Structure 1
Amino acid sequence: MNDSVMKKILAELGTGALVPCLGPGVLHGVVDLFSGLPMPADSDSLILAMTGGQAMAPRLMYEFPRAAMHLENKKGRSFIERFLTQTYGGDNWTPSPMHRWLASLNLRYVIDCNRDTQLQLAYAGRQHTLIVGAARLTGTPYRFDLYQFDGEHYDSIELGEVDSDLPVLFKPLGTPSPHPNYVASDADFVDYITELMGGFAIPAWIKLQRRNKRYLFLGMRFNRDTERMVMSDMIHDAAPNAGWVLIADPSPKERKFCERKQLQLIEADWSELFAHAMNPAIEPA
């Protein structure tokens, strides 16, 4: 990545002009403290973790939601929820320097499309609002849960109780903390994306604040419809120049998506930007 481009991105990020959107790639390097095994984050890793290392049929290996739907039909929804909570809910993972760096920037709004708790742990020293995506709920049209962190623990809150001065962490695909809730299987995504498009999966105050925002996609791929559809609605009302996407080896589908959404594609890994942020004096490769 060009040195001037990195400086420009970091400068905009530091002023709060860019909203980071985190994908599975940013969890690279996070490992189990006891086994040393990497945290399963991308689609293939999650499927293999869910099946105990056993590969599934190619049509199911295509993406995690499809594989999760297959096992949900066989073993029940509780199996998927239990697997994700056991995977991400413990304190056995090494802390992520990337997430701690983002937290140090005192950002007002971060979208985290992973189901782990690294970002929440990085923000544990300050008050914040947590938005957790939800699916297949009954009794409410909304597809999110709201929590406020007071510096020690989370409390469930209603829309009218939101403190708009607090930074916001948006976990659209769920988290094990404070209460396990996930968007995971095909059925979850069908419901969630439908309500996302209908306006019921994003709180009203976020819809107002996100107008003309710009975004920085880190560790996220756009080869599958699921990711493209979710993020298209997440960045609705973005500025005409919608931001940046860092992908070292973009596919034709990803190039087309970025062009359509007016996102500037940078052919570099997120780790290059992070390395420069940690040591601005380094020479780019």
Structure 2
Amino acid sequence: MNTIPTSGHLVVVRDSFARKLLELARRALVSDQVIPYLGPGLLRLSSAEPPVPCTPEAVAEALNTRAPAPSKIRTNMWSVAQFIEQRRHRRTLQAWMTDIFAGPAAPSILHAWLAKLPLSLIIDSWYEGAMRAALAEAGRTDVVEIQGVTRANEVGDIWTRTYDLSGRELEAGAATKTVLYAPHGSIRPAANFLIADSDYVEALTEIDIQTPIPDVVKERRVDRGFFFVGCRFNDQMLRTYARQIMKRSEGPRYAIMDRQTLTRNEARFLAASGITVIDMPASEAVAQLAGSAS
């Protein structure tokens, strides 16, 4: 069976059905009808051993080598970061994260392909900046990046900062063809990281009423769907942000994921969000997407 409705109404497509649906997703991307939502799993497409961590658990491990956290929180990135911030100061956490993500992450063929499309909005949910690099390498001059920032370093009601691809900070609301939105921050150009539990306290309090999400993101998602690739939703933080970012969007919604690896909470989230799972290896899906457009 290629289409699998589960008890939670999760729809999974495989084999020829998956390839056909992926072709529909490709056409929707080319025509700017869906928004790419990129996760850290894409780092594995460019390198078997990525130069930077490609999971929250790997970030936690890297932080633990610098300051061992209690065993009960050792694998939780957000809690380990909070432990370091409380005992070593925010500046230390910032410096360590900057060091951990210092290695340049090469854009994958998917990043390079997306960079050439006239997309209105791209979501990059990891810190490494590969999508930003791909847009710069493509010579794009009609792009701004909006990054989430920690309130720990801010005075006033500031949730994001805006940059052009040269790294120059811009006024919020700058008009542009493509908006690259990094809700959790990024290593470049200014090492903005939402990483510790404390970074999310106010954000999660306000996110139900959408305050931390830029107006341009709210505007551009309304008549579009979402295409998730390289993502996992095995933590409540990741599910909450994805849910709020795609809130009030029109659809359709697709995700490239391995059905066998989904946790129960991930499956529930995908079903409740109306996200159809295209069950195929990310490398195969990316080859079909980028290869079809070459």
Give the TM-score range, shorter chain. Answer: 0.7 to 0.9
Q: Match of 1:158?
A: 171
Q: After TM superposition, give the deviation of residue 158 of structure 1 in Å.
A: 2.0
Mapped to 2, the partners of 1:87 and 1:97 lie a distance apart of 24
Shift of 1:31: 4.8
User: Quick one: distance in 2 between partners of 1:62 and 1:120?
Assistant: 28
Aligned to 1:229: 240
For residues 214 and 271 of structure 2, what CA distance do their matches in structure 1 show? 28
Alignment of 1:142-221 (within 5 A): 142-149=158-165, 153-160=166-173, 162-163=174-175, 165-221=176-232
Q: Which residue of 2 aligns with 1:267?
A: 279
TM score, norm. by length of structure 2:
0.83
Identity of aligned residues (%): 23
Counterpart contact for 2:127–2:185, Cα < 8 Å: yes
- Quote the Cα distance in structure 2 between the aligned partners of 1:94 and 1:53: 26
Question: Following the alignment from structure 1 to structure 2, what is the Cα–Cα distance between the partners of residues 262 and 79?
Answer: 41
Pairs aligned (count):
271
Within 2, Cα distance between the matches of 1:71 and 1:118?
27
Deviation of the 1:266 alpha carbon: 2.3
Letter in 1 for 2:42: V
d(CA) in 1 for partners of 2:75, 2:218: 32
Residue type of the alignment partner of 1:5: L
Cα deviation, 1:27-71, whole Å, max 9, x if unaligned, reads: 114459xxx664212012111222338975442134211111112
| Pair 1:129-2:144 in alignment | yes
1:12 pairs, out of 11, 28, 36, with: 28
Q: RCO (CA 8 Å, sep 6+): is it higher in 1 or 2? A: 2
Structure 1 counterpart of 2:289 = 277
Long gaps (5+) in structure 2? 1-13
Q: Alignment partner of 2:223: what SS?
A: coil
Q: CA deviation at 1:184?
A: 0.3
Runs (5+) with no aligned partner, structure 1: 281-285
User: In 1, distance between residues paired with 2:50 and 2:177?
Assistant: 35
Q: Deviations over 1:2-47 (max 9, x none)?
A: 3212211111111111101111111114459xxx664212012111
